[in-house]
Amino acid sequence: MRAATERQDPKERERVEAVLGVLKKQAPLTVKQEKFCSYACVERFLRAEGDGVKKVAKHLRAVLSWRESIGADHLIADEFHGELADGMAYVAGHDDEARPVMVFRIKQDYLKLRSQKSFLRLLVFTLEVAVSSMARNVDQFVLLFDASYFRSPKSFLHLFMGTLKVISDYYPGRLHKAFVIDPPTLFSCLWKGVRPFVELSAVTAVVSSLDFEDSLEDGYFTSLLRTASFRFDPAAAKVGSCASSRFSFTVSHLNSLKPWYLSTTATATRSAVVPTSSPSLIGASPLNARSFSFASPAARSTSRVGIAGAAISRSIPSTPSSAPPCRPRQPQPRTPMPSFFQSPAALFSFKKEGRLSRAERERESFLPFLRFYRRPYDESVYRANMRPPLSGLISIVSHHDQLKQRRNKIQSLPALTAPTKEQRPPN
């Protein structure tokens, strides 16, 4: 702690000490409160509230009283055994910047069965687990809120806005990014209406998981057996071709993007001799003879003989690999920029080239956290990564330790000997 304070600027150190001095004048701080009001915590409050010393001290005092009322220092995992078993709220891991990533999968029926205070305690417990897992140089976390379990947009908006208010009021400067994934219908319209009045709306994004179904950014997702079975394995495939009377299927290792291609055989493209029992089929190839047999008499009577007398066969579309190369399109004349004198509205609505929209920027910002959303939940791993006392009273004791404890108990008991004749009771 001393090394951290020496690196601070003298002005920042004076402001931190001034805030701590005001807090101690109001009421003496307990040991846990002094541990909570560290230099890094006071600096974070100063960045969020500004340079007002009294304002920051008042905010810190309100946070300390709120933590004492809710019992934030006494929350343990044993209180939320049902929620942890279902994976409703947990820390999925850490991103590239060592920030903890929290995933919330709250169901809509959970609020009907439990009170609002129960959800608040679960939220604070998850936030405390994320804060306790931070490194020394990290002071922010990421929130992924899976809203696919909600059917009512109004109820989810109420829950989500309450979550953001708790974070902004009692964990200022902690939220790096918040993502709402697969919200219910009409949630986007409601969010646009309340967005200007939400303090953390600038770091909140709404995304859809359907936009990332074809994404291969997640290494774990691509390593699954189901996804790996659909990929082409060059070692298992036999190089060569397989031809029939109509098509040819060829496998090659030269093209990794499309190692196979389908094309028509040479015999199928040539004009073949058909029985002369049907004059309308003279000159037709075996590929379209069946179609001509079901055609109307007017369609069958059309001549299909070319100028030189050779039969013209109908061309059959093949795969893009066997199709002839397309001619390059002629460059189209560029649309001139609208003039203010012609249409002022068109000028202001003109979109600059290369500038992404808000939805596209939100999708790109969600890509680094997609793997945490798809990663399966494991309660044992999550409990093992908790630091005491948050991990609860459940401890894992090996069998060797249990035997050792039993042996010590047996040795501590007094030795039992057979009674002598004098000690025997009279008959």
d(CA 417, CA 414): 9
Q: In 3-state terms, what secondary structure has residue 180?
A: strand
Q: How far apart are CA 49 and CA 115, in angstroms?
A: 32
- State pLDDT tens for residues 25-39: 988 899 999 999 999
Question: What is the C-alpha to C-alpha distance for residues 27 and 66, in angstroms, rounded to an integer?
Answer: 15
| pLDDT for 253 beyond 90 | no
- Alpha-carbon separation of residue 19 from 31, 34, 39, 62 (angstroms): 17, 12, 10, 14
Query: Residue 312 pLDDT more than 90?
Result: no
**Highest-confidence segment of 153-167, 294-308, 310-324, 413-427:** 153-167
Q: Over the chain, what is the mean pLDDT?
A: 74
Question: Does pLDDT of 5 surpass 50?
Answer: no
Amino acid at the residue 57: A
Q: How many whole angstroms separate alpha carbon 95 and alpha carbon 99?
A: 5
425: its two tokens: 């009771």
Which among 17-21, 224-228, 416-420 has the top mean pLDDT? 17-21
The CA distance from 398 to 297, in Å, is: 89
Q: Note whether 286 and 265 are within 8 A (CB).
A: no
Spatial separation of the C-alpha atoms in residues 179 and 208, rounded to whole Å: 10
- Check if the beta carbon of residue 93 is closer than 8 Å to that of residue 101: yes
Q: How many CA atoms lie within 13 A of 341 on its CB side?
A: 0
> Are the C-beta atoms of 350 and 342 separated by less than 8 Å?
no
The mean pLDDT of 338-358, rounded to a whole number, is 55
Read off the pLDDT band of 58 (50, 70, 90).
very high
Q: Which of 45-54, 294-303, 339-348 has the highest mean pLDDT?
A: 45-54
Predicted confidence at residue 390, as pLDDT, reads: 83
Q: Which residue has the higher pLDDT, 337 or 399?
A: 337
pTM of the model: 0.62
* Model confidence at 52: pLDDT above 60: yes
With a cut of 90, say whether residue 97 has pLDDT above it. Answer: yes
- For residues 305-322, give the mean pLDDT: 45
* Segment 118-159, tens digit of pLDDT: 999 999 999 999 999 999 899 999 999 999 999 999 999 999
In tens, the pLDDT along 183-211 reads 998 999 999 999 999 999 999 999 999 88
Give the DSSP H/E element, type plus range, for residue 178.
strand 175-181
Nearest to 74 by CA among 42, 32, 107, 115: 32
Q: Cα(204)–Cα(362) distance, rounded to whole angstroms?
A: 9
Residue 72 has a pLDDT of 92
- The strand order across the sheet containing 204-207 reads 89-94, 100-104, 141-146, 175-181, 204-207
- Would you tell me how many other CB atoms lie within 10 Å of the CB of residue 218? 18
pLDDT grade for 214, boundaries at 50, 70 and 90: low
Task: State residue 275's pLDDT score.
Answer: 45
Q: What is the number of alpha carbons within 13 Å of residue 121 lying toward its C-beta? A: 20
* Cα 141 to Cα 132: distance, rounded to the nearest angstrom: 11
Q: Side-chain half-sphere of 92: how many Cα atoms within 13 Å?
A: 23
Amino acid at the residue 392: G
Pairs from 81-86 (Cβ < 8 Å, separation ≥ 24): 83/122, 84/379, 84/382, 84/383, 85/379
Give 376's contacts (C-beta < 8 A, 6+ positions apart). Answer: none
- Predicted pLDDT at 426: 59
Q: What is the pLDDT of residue 206?
A: 94
If pLDDT is split at 50, 70 and 90, which confidence band does 358 have?
Answer: confident
The C-alpha atoms of residue 340 and residue 248 are separated, in whole angstroms, by 60
Pairing of the two strands 260-264 and 247-251: antiparallel
